[in-house]
Amino acid sequence: MHNDDEAYLASLGYRQQLFREMGGFSNFAISFSIISILTGAVLLYGYGLKFAGPIVNSVGWPVVSLFTLAVAASMAEIASAYPTAGGLYFWSRRLGGRGWAWLTAWLNMIGQVTITGGINIAAAIYLIGAATRIFDLRGAFLTNWYFQLAVMIAILIPQVVINVYGIRLTARLNDISVWWHIAGVLLITLALTLFGKHHNPLAFLFSFAPTVNAYEASSTLVIGNAAIPSPLFRIFPSLAALYQLAPPALLFVLALLQAQWTYTGYDASAHVAEETVMARLNSAWGIFLSVAVSAVVGYLMLMVLTWCIPNGDVAATAADPYPVLYVIANNLGPFLTNLIAVIIGGAMWLCGLASVTSMGRMWYAFARDDGMPGAAMLKRISANGTPVPAIVVTSILSVIVCVYAAAFYVVTSISTIALYLAYVIPIFLNLRNRMRGRGEHMTLALAPWFLGRWGSVINLIAIAWCAFIAIVFMLPPNELVLWTMLAFALALSAYWQVWKRAGR
């Protein structure tokens, strides 16, 4: 079986360098762990409530889930044709050429670094909050961004060490992570259902109850410790007027960041394809099933949490620095509350571990094709079969991006947009080639995980959704994301010209 995988990889132009030791479940596990409903859905639970109230969970989560499944299915089909480390940029190269591949790679690399930064700063924020509640800690420093960064680094170091050690241990921990997440969700839902003190009526779950003034929450652009009035509102006064009116539709789509950021990182199953047995099928199923299982399990958890909001007080819950812990602590006794807090913290750490794995592989793969500065160093493989320089360098960058952003939701928006732009490029190229009848595109002969006659429709839905969220998540209060992405675009355009002239 390994020989078949290695032979197919050789037909794509690469020799086997990484150790092929992951089965289908482990491939699914790495994407499921990065999606981590106990990370994104927990940390951004209050963000969604502030902008839309309970309806963001009861309606917003399934809406985002369905559209994300279209993206995942479109990616899974392509992954089954091209099971290589780095995945997405190689797909774009086969489907669209060098320029498309280069753009996809840089978007994916930016997204991988920012999602890892977002996951680990989220874990740091959460663990500080959990320790504060468990041990009754006090002090303003506990909510200081730079103290949170210090905790983030402490979380990151063992993740890097384990990834450097080898893929076998990392894969085993990802397998454990699946059951850890599922057990955690079951404990939360059963405990709140059976022993919760507060159960709201059914109508409450579908209520629209924003607790934040959209204009006030969005009128300031924060960079580090500096704050300036929103340039976007000055350039477009009509946009400022729209935020002052705050129509429900606007607030609802802004709140969708809670769900959409949770559904990031499932390209990890493609990035570890060269370490997966029967990669053409297992990497495709890993992408799709990680989203599908997360959709069901996440919806169960979010609905129970919302059902148990104390006294139906959305404002008090959303205002708490740790809203999920607030719900649990006001419903359950200290023992169960502390146990759940520890389980959630462990899930977040495991999520970060998987993200470091995926990030390192993606950067290694692009360096292998000499696509970036420092490629000679970044493409080195250790005796353990791991890309150590790529793992270390990208982990350092994930900390630096958090120093710049100084707000968790800004980091999450950058990662969401960059990753989904990287996801959508090969999907677009595949559909374009199919519709114009030339160039490579997915067929049953090429892609054993094949969408058949529904492929074009699913691709179109995926493309439309990616375009929609790219616009929405650059709007205030995530305006820093807009200017950051524009700066990235200018820098990448300049670098592309240099890279192209150098004949790369």
The per-residue DSSP string of 26-66 comes to HHHHHHHHHHTTTTHHHHTHHHHHHHHTTHIIIIIHHHHHH
Q: Is 339 exposed, middle or buried (0-12, 13-18, 19+ CB in 10 A)?
A: middle
Model-level pTM? 0.89
Q: What is the largest CA-CA distance in the chain?
A: 67
Residue 151 binned pLDDT confidence (cut-offs 50, 70, 90): very high
Q: What is the pLDDT of residues 266-281, one digit of tens each?
A: 988 988 888 889 899 9
**Residue 413 — pLDDT band, cuts 50, 70, 90?**
confident
Structural fold of domain 2-501: Amino acid/polyamine transporter I (1.20.1740)
Average pLDDT over residues 342-370: 89
- Indicate if the pLDDT at residue 34 is higher than 90: no
Q: Count of CB atoms within 10 A of residue 172's CB?
A: 13
Is it true that the peptide bond before 387 is cis, omega within 30 degrees of 0? no
| Distance in angstroms (rounded) separating the CA atoms of residues 284 and 268 | 11
Backbone angles phi, psi at 228, to 5 degrees: -130, 155
Confidence of residue 504 (pLDDT cuts 50, 70, 90): low
pLDDT of residue 467: 94
What average pLDDT score do residues 145-160 get? 90
Quote the pLDDT of residue 201: 96
Contact 205, 307 (CB under 8 A): yes
Provide the Cα torsion 494, 89, 61, 331; round to 10°.
Answer: -90
pLDDT bin (cut points 50, 70, 90) of residue 224 is: low
